[in-house]
Chains A and B, each alone.
Chain A
Amino acid sequence: MHPAFSVIFFTTASGAGYGLLALLGFGNALGLVPAAGWFGFWSLGLALVLIAGGLIASTAHLGHPERAWRAFSQFRTSWLSREGVAAVSTFVPFAVFGIGWVFFAKTEGVWALPGLAAAVGGGITVFTTAMIYRSLKPIHQWHNAHVVPVYLALALATGALLLNALVHLWGHAQPAIGYLALAACALAAWLKHRYWRFIDTTKAVSTPETATGLGARGKVRLLESPHQVDNYLMREMGFRVARKHAFKLRRIALAALFAAPMTLTLLTVLAPVGAGTALLTILAALSAALGVGVERWLFFAEAKHTVTLYYGATDA
Chain B
Amino acid sequence: MTAYTPPTGKQLGLVIDLDTCVGCHACAVNCKEWNTGGHSAPLPDRDPYGADPTGVWFNRIHTFEAGEGATSRTVHFPKSCLHCAEPLCVEVCPTGASYKRVEDGIVLVNADTCIGCKLCSWACPYGAREFDDDDGVMKKCTLCVDKIYNETLPEADRVPACVSTCPASARHFGDLGDPDSAVSKLVADRGGYELMPELGYKPTNRYLPPRESKAKAGCTGAPAALETRIDPDALHPVLRWVDRILSR
Q: Which residues of A contact B (CB under 8 A)?
A: 1, 61-65, 67-68, 70-74, 76-81, 84, 132, 135-139, 205-206, 208, 210-227, 229-233, 236-237, 305-307, 310-311
Contact = CB atoms under 8 A, between A and B. Distances in A.
Interface centre among A1, A213, A216, A310 (most CB of B within 10 A): A213
A216 B94 CA distance: 39
A141 to B, nearest CB: 12
Contact of A70 (B68, B75, B91, B95): B95
Given A63-B135, A237-B127, A206 B65 contact: no
B113 A67 contact: yes
Interface string B140-164: 0000000000000000000000000
B104 interface: no
Contacts of A78: 2, 91-94, 119
A81 B67 CA distance: 44
Nearest to A312: B62
Contacts of B122: 1, 136, 138-139, 236-237, 305
Interface stretch (B172-180, B195-203, B224-232, B237-245): B195-203
A224 B72 contact: no
Contact of A138 (B97, B116, B123, B210): B123
Contacts of A81: 2, 94-95
B64 A63 contact: no
Contact of A213 (B52, B68, B136, B193): B193
B124 A84 contact: no
B141 to A, nearest CB: 14
Given A70-B95, A222-B63, A232-B131, A206 B117 contact: no
A70 B137 contact: no
Given A73-B96, A229-B54, 7 more contacts: A74-B2, A136-B88, A206-B196, A233-B121, A237-B121, A306-B196, A307-B126
Nearest to A58: B117
Contacts of A67: 95, 113-115
Interface of B: 1-3, 18, 23, 28, 52-54, 56-57, 60-68, 71-75, 77, 79, 88, 90-97, 113-119, 121-127, 130-133, 135-138, 193-201, 207, 209-210
28 contacts: A63-B114, A63-B135, A71-B95, A73-B95, A74-B1, A74-B96, A76-B1, A78-B92, A78-B93, A80-B92, A80-B94, A80-B117, A206-B198, A212-B66, A212-B195, A216-B209, A217-B66, A218-B66, A221-B65, A225-B62, A226-B60, A226-B61, A231-B54, A231-B60, A231-B130, A232-B121, A307-B124, A310-B62
Given A67-B113, A138-B122, A222 B127 contact: no
Nearest to B52: A229
B125 A223 contact: no
B199 A206 contact: yes
Given A229-B54, A306-B199, A310-B79, A224 B63 contact: yes
A48 to B, nearest CB: 24
Contacts of A138: 122-125, 199
A218 B95 CA distance: 42
A176 B1 CA distance: 47
A63 B131 contact: yes
Contact of B95 (A65, A74, A226, A305): A74
A136 B120 CA distance: 10
A114 to B, nearest CB: 27
B115 A212 contact: no
B109 to A, nearest CB: 12
B72 A218 contact: yes
